[in-house]
Chain A
């Protein structure tokens, strides 16, 4: 079991990943990336950082498996219940009254936020009227999410409590089925959701601008130069008057692109696009 790696080890793995998969991790937050790489080293049974880098270079690990393992899961449904309540009661009705309203989730891993949003749309009465575009970083994530995810008891307990604080309109249990103590969300929640693979948000093609983009706690993993590029991409993908939602302890202040937005809910970090 590898429990720590140094900066040189991390750089060696970053080089192997770039050379083998064409994925550039050099501008990711060091501490978070290091911890994800340690997780991956142990998941793939490597005995050291060098051994892991060697496996990558020999293509003993596919790019899809690597991305799936390194990606961070969201650890609960309805994280920050007050945000989801705000979305259901105020922002979702506002954007969903328009015809052809679309919401973008550019990075869906374990599916918690996608299903939370689907439940919000359902409870706000807009499930059939609003389309969600969800991008997952790997094919494995797509498979997982399309079958309703796979959630353990601990996550379900935390999520039940969050759903109660969100003041849901039914029982959280009505949205999932249990198999061998693991929960799968009901596939009908995904009726108006398109799910595709896109491992790099900067390469995502946005053909029509969105009324809302939800990208919570994903900026945490980037250093400022990459963070700035991603924010520009998010802002460009929004129509004027559209909303960007980020994590409650994230900030846009280190990006010039934030000047195109105004904050409309400081507690929940909801921004509205002012100008193109």
Chain B
């Protein structure tokens, strides 16, 4: 299953809930959720811990737009919109955690 997150973990519980409820699969961070994929932020430890259960992806155009391309956490795979499409295809279902 693909879990799509679009909120910063510092201002919303969305990513927390996803990590607590979801059994595993792929997580794609888009829009303001990409802040979760950057080194040195308060959520870094949680994301690193989550990597043992989930494969974590982040949308590069959203990272670049926010000036954080040089700070992507190790272990996070970056994708473009084409990679976003591939992830939706590769997973049999997807949930946008709104």
Same complex origin of A and B: no
- List residues of chain A with CB under 8 Å of any chain B CB: none
- List residues of chain B with CB under 8 Å of any chain A CB: none
